[in-house]
Amino acid sequence: MSQQNHAYQSIAHAIKDHGITTMFGLMGDANLFMVDSFVRDFEGRFIPAAHEGSSILMAAAYAHVSGNVGVATVTHGPALTNCATALTEAARGHVPLVVLAGDTPVDNPRHLQCIDQRSLVNVTGAGFEQLRTPATVCKDVARAFYRAQVERRPIVLNMPANFMWEMADDYDIQVLDVFTAPGGVAEGDVLDDAIGMIAAAKRPLILAGGGAVGAHDQLVRLADRLEAPLATTLKAKGLFNDHPYNIDIFGTLSTPAAYELIALSDCVICFGTALHDFTTDRGKLMKGMRIVQIDVDPTSIGGGLHPDVALVADAGLAAETIVYWLDEAEIRASGFTRELDVETLTAHSAGSVTASDGFINYVYALGRLEEALPKDRVLVTDGGRFMTEVWCRLSVPNPQSFVCTVNFGAIGLGLQEAVGAGLAAPDRPVVLFSGDGGFMMGGINEFNTAVRLGLDLIVIIANDSAYGAEHIQFVDREMDPSLTEFHWPSFVDVAKSLGGDGFEVRSKEQLEEALEALKDRQGPYLIELRLDPLDVPRMRV
């Protein structure tokens, strides 16, 4: 039955009709009535953030962990400019996200907070959709959700404030059915060339990226058919945990033994990865081998490394097709996996576990945390020089349980995404690794949000009292690094003042005490690892 509403009520109704039950945001003049209607009229849940950019990041992590479209809302002008970094992070991470952004009244171009919001959004790589009139509200909302799913990026729906209290047309459900994956694979000579290269390979290797996460079973069947080892990019970490020939992360994050194995391969079959410089070690790792690149997104092919053969195709369907033709041609398995000792390929060196007085050794601490932290965790990492060791040494159950906030190379985004991840997986603990600089930049803003929500959040702060990536550059050039050093407050005291709990760690004994206390945690819990800035492992990039 049609029903006439104000525009703000129709927007809230349309959001509910797209299956959205949780919205992140910060209210202002142009969106507060829509948020109120979403909560009161349609039983939605609104998660208020302390900063507008945080709401985007929370919604992005919620989308990644839940597999649904994330939704955030902010008001106009400075609220939207506060979202520029977060929108860029989500756009480069290919996160399907709808951002309901208020805009100043169209009839008041001299409004204090008026800016060209379309231009701002375009710079970030997100998409822009204009709410045209109160009469087109339902269609415009549907269009934004459609684009978010098909384009795999944030779409900002721009909502002029003066529309909100105007009457909309009779409400009518408008939901566009979205077909998000192609129904076929490449055909003809290019497919024949790819299969020929794969069939001729003596040492094939299968590499899966974030775009191939849904093709686990098909890729495993192909690997078993070829007797080829499996590897993942960082974005697909954990995809092949259950496979005996999983060599883990491919590229600069590989173990030395795995790196050598990759270099010995004669054909790498790449599914759903754009072959980033870190994946290929700036191309050095892929020299002298055939590259078959398969991706549903044409723009991902050839951007970092030029493949020998490229197929614009769905990862799972392509893998099934390759297996079919290998069987038809009775191609023998390569036997490559028979040569492998996977345990030696995936074991990262412990190195020294000693530390200066008053500090804990970082690698030792990561080893104990891997053993002691809950196994069903969702792992979130902020940016910083500490992060590559976490990626290599901390396991995750699957790629959906791993959120790395490094698509834009920013720091200070981790805790916000940890909040979104926690709401997407309310029955599981979330573990966040952050540096001291990143926590000061963005974590403090939202730690109390996690407290208010009662999240099971464990925050590990790698505190070297410096901006570490810059610190090491001064040290390498034998220059004074003091400009990069900071005397932060006690993060444990900060956590307690914001309603959480925590434990400072300066020794192995204190680490054991912190891990024991962790078992009885109630709400967000912070462990502050005090590190020697001269003794933190270098980034593996």
Query: pLDDT tens-digit profile of 112-124?
Result: 888 899 999 999 9
Q: What is the pLDDT of residue 4?
A: 63
- Per the structure block, which two tokens stand in for 101? 């952004």
In this predicted structure, the answer to whether residue 480 has a pLDDT above a threshold of 90 is no
Task: Kindly state the average pLDDT of the residues 255-267.
Answer: 91
Please tell me the distance from the alpha carbon of residue 73 to that of residue 79, in angstroms, as a whole number.
Answer: 10
At 96, which helix (H) or strand (E)? none
Side chain identity at residue 317, one-letter code: L
In this predicted structure, the answer to whether residue 185 has a pLDDT above a threshold of 90 is no
Q: What is the pLDDT of residue 296?
A: 87
Angstrom CA distances, 411 to 78, 386, 406, 446, stand at 21, 11, 8, 14
Please tell me the distance from the alpha carbon of residue 450 to that of residue 429, in angstroms, as a whole number.
Answer: 12
Task: Kindly state the average pLDDT of the residues 97-119.
Answer: 89
Q: pLDDT over 90 for what percent of the chain?
A: 68
Q: What is the pLDDT of residue 182?
A: 54
Please tell me the distance from the alpha carbon of residue 141 to that of residue 436, in angstroms, as a whole number.
Answer: 40
End residue of a domain, out of 312, 346, 380: 346
CB 96 within 8 A of CB 70: yes
- What is the pTM (predicted TM-score) of this model? 0.92
Whether residues 157 and 260 fall in one domain = no
Residues 6+ apart with CB under 8 A from 469: 384, 385, 539
| Strand partners of residue 527 | 460, 503
In this predicted structure, the answer to whether residue 541 has a pLDDT above a threshold of 70 is no
Q: Which of 455, 394, 461 is nearest to 430 (CA)?
A: 455
Average confidence score pLDDT of the chain: 91
Residue 470 CB burial class (10 angstroms; 0-12, 13-18, ≥19): middle
Residue 351 lies in a domain: no
Residue 233 lies in a domain: yes
Q: pLDDT over 70 for what percent of the chain?
A: 97
CATH number at residue 269: 3.40.50.1220
Task: Kindly state the average pLDDT of the residues 164-189.
Answer: 72
Q: What is the pLDDT of residue 298?
A: 85
Q: What is the pLDDT of residue 370?
A: 96
In this predicted structure, the answer to whether residue 471 has a pLDDT above a threshold of 80 is no
Residue 11 lies in a domain: yes
Interval 68-77: pLDDT, tens: 999 999 999 9
State the residue for tokens 């991902």.
Answer: 300
At 98, which helix (H) or strand (E)? strand 97-103
Interval 358-370: pLDDT, tens: 999 999 999 999 9
Whether residues 113 and 145 fall in one domain = yes
First to last CA, the chain: 58
Task: Kindly state the average pLDDT of the residues 288-304.
Answer: 88
Residues 6+ apart with CB under 8 A from 528: 461, 463, 490, 491, 492, 502, 503, 504, 505
Task: Kindly state the average pLDDT of the residues 238-254.
Answer: 93
Q: What is the pLDDT of residue 238?
A: 96
Whether residues 335 and 371 fall in one domain = no
Residue 182 lies in a domain: no
Whether residues 159 and 278 fall in one domain = no
| Strand partners of residue 206 | 230, 269
CB 90 within 8 A of CB 126: yes
Residue 80 lies in a domain: yes
Interval 309-350: pLDDT, tens: 999 989 999 999 999 999 999 999 999 998 888 778 888 877
In this predicted structure, the answer to whether residue 183 has a pLDDT above a threshold of 60 is no
The parent domain of residue 503 ranges over: 362-530
Q: Where are the alpha helices (DSSP H) in 133-292?
A: 137-151, 189-200, 216-226, 256-264, 277-280
Q: What is the pLDDT of residue 344?
A: 81
Sign of torsion, CA 232 234 239 241?
positive
Q: What is the pLDDT of residue 356?
A: 85
In this predicted structure, the answer to whether residue 157 has a pLDDT above a threshold of 60 is yes
Q: What is the pLDDT of residue 181?
A: 55
In this predicted structure, the answer to whether residue 171 has a pLDDT above a threshold of 80 is no
Whether residues 137 and 202 fall in one domain = no
CATH number at residue 45: 3.40.50.970
- Total domains, the chain: 3
Whether residues 386 and 269 fall in one domain = no
Task: Kindly state the average pLDDT of the residues 439-454.
Answer: 92
Please count the residues of the chain. 541
Task: Kindly state the average pLDDT of the residues 182-201.
Answer: 82
In this predicted structure, the answer to whether residue 1 has a pLDDT above a threshold of 60 is no
Q: Which residue has the higher pLDDT, 303 or 252?
A: 252
In this predicted structure, the answer to whether residue 54 has a pLDDT above a threshold of 90 is yes
Whether residues 89 and 219 fall in one domain = no
State the residue for tokens 């590229």.
Answer: 251
At 160, which helix (H) or strand (E)? strand 154-160
| Residue 180 banded pLDDT, cuts 50, 70, 90 | low
Interval 268-292: pLDDT, tens: 999 999 998 888 988 888 888 999 9
At 27, which helix (H) or strand (E)? none
Whether residues 93 and 218 fall in one domain = no
Whether residues 292 and 376 fall in one domain = no
Residue 175 lies in a domain: no
Q: What is the pLDDT of residue 390?
A: 94
Residue 180 lies in a domain: no
In this structure, of 153-162, 228-237, 249-258, the range with the lowest mean pLDDT score is 249-258
Task: Kindly state the average pLDDT of the residues 481-499.
Answer: 88
In this structure, of 38-47, 436-445, 452-461, the range with the lowest mean pLDDT score is 436-445
- Work out the angle at residue 30's Cα, subtended by the Cα atoms of residues 29 and 36, and round it to the nearest 5 degrees: 85
Q: Return the HEC string of 211-250.
A: HHHHHHHHHHHHHHHHCCCEEECHHHCCCCCCCCCEEEEC
In this predicted structure, the answer to whether residue 2 has a pLDDT above a threshold of 70 is no
In this structure, of 167-171, 226-230, 450-454, the range with the lowest mean pLDDT score is 167-171
Whether residues 231 and 92 fall in one domain = no
Residue 535 lies in a domain: no
Q: Dump the DSSP string for 462-485.
A: EE-SB-HHHHHHHHHTT---GGGB
Please tell me the distance from the alpha carbon of residue 525 to that of residue 502, in angstroms, as a whole number.
Answer: 5
Whether residues 54 and 149 fall in one domain = yes
Angstrom CA distances, 287 to 137, 248, 262, 362, stand at 53, 20, 10, 34
Q: What is the pLDDT of residue 277?
A: 86
In this predicted structure, the answer to whether residue 472 has a pLDDT above a threshold of 80 is no
Task: Kindly state the average pLDDT of the residues 449-462.
Answer: 96
| Residue 540 banded pLDDT, cuts 50, 70, 90 | low
Task: Kindly state the average pLDDT of the residues 481-485.
Answer: 79
Whether residues 48 and 151 fall in one domain = yes
Task: Kindly state the average pLDDT of the residues 459-478.
Answer: 83
